[in-house]
Amino acid sequence: EVQLLESGGGVVQPGGSLRLSCAASGFTFSSYAMNWVRQTPGKGLEWVSSVRAGGDATYYADSVKGRFTISRDNSGSTLYVQMNNLRAEDTAVYYCAKSPGSSSHYYFDLWGQGTLVTVPS
Amino acid sequence: EIVMTQSPATLSVSPGERATLSCRASHSLNSYLAWYQQKPGQAPRLLIYGASTRATGIPARFSGSESGTEFTLTISSLQSEDFAVYYCQQYYNWPLTFGGGTEVEIK
C-alpha cells in the first residue's frame, strides 16, 4: 500500500527542538521530491519546506528559514524535518506530502495523516 | 510571493446542485495550479493539477478551468461526500502558496 506515516510530534516549550519523521512505503521514495505542509488548528494550509528527490536542493518558507532543516534518507525511505527554536506560531499539524516528480511540479499527490506539534505560548 | 485568494469563504449548496469555487492568483501561473479537498479530521486529497487535469480516481463531476489568473473548480452535481473544504495551491514559483479555502456546506 502506498502511504506516508509521520511521527515525532508532541508538546515542546518555546525555544525547544523537535524532529519529525515520515516513513514512506509502497513507492520508490528516492524518485520523488518530498515536502512538509502544516495546518494551524482550524485554519488553512501553509507550505513549510521541500526537498528534491536526490536531496541536492531544499526550499523553505520564510517563516521557518534558519530554524527548520529538511532532509531525507533515500536508503531508508524516510523524510525528516529538524525544527529548532520553536515558537508558539509553529503550533500545527504537520503533514508529509509527496510530489509527482523528482525536481519540479511541486504539488502534492500523496499525504500522510499528520502529526501535531504544540508549542505553548 | 504569489497570493492566492479563494471565494467565497463558504458556499451553501443543496445535494445534486452545481458548485462553483473560485481562486484568483496575484500573478500568472502558467497553469501550475492544484486543487485539494479536505474533510474534517483528514489530510487533504489532490483533486486537480495543471489547472484542469483530474488526479487518479477523482470522479468526472469535478472539473477545473482557468482564465488568465482566475481559476475555477466546478462540482457538477454535489454528492453527500463532497461537502468539505477546498483549497487551491500554486506551484509556479517559490514559496508555494495556498488559498484560504472554501467550505462547501449543505444548504
Are B91 and A50 in contact (CB < 8 Å)? no
**Structure confidence by residue, pLDDT tens digits, B9-50:** 999 999 999 999 999 999 999 999 999 999 999 999 999 999
> Residue written as cell 523553505?
A60
Arithmetic mean of pLDDT, A101-115: 94
Sign (positive or negative) of CA dihedral B98, A59, B27, B90: negative
pLDDT on residue B100: 97
Q: What are phi and psi of A90, to 5 degrees?
A: -85, -5
Q: Check whether the bond before B8 is cis (ω within 30° of 0).
A: yes
Q: Which of B96, B97, B103 to mutate to test the interface with A (most CBs of A within 10 A)?
A: B96
pLDDT of B95 > 90? The answer is: yes
**Structure confidence by residue, pLDDT tens digits, A8-55:** 999 999 999 999 999 999 999 999 999 999 999 878 899 999 999 999
CA distance B99 to B87: 6
Are A47 and B96 in contact (CB < 8 Å)? yes
pLDDT on residue B97: 98
Pairing of the two strands B85-90 and A115-118: unpaired
- Taking the CA of residue B46 and the nearest CA in chain A, the distance in Å comes to 6
- Taking the CA of residue A14 and the nearest CA in chain B, the distance in Å comes to 25
CA distance B95 to B74: 26
pLDDT band of residue A105 (cuts 50, 70, 90) is confident
Interface check B94 vs A, CB under 8 A: yes
Q: What percent of chain B has pLDDT over 90?
A: 99
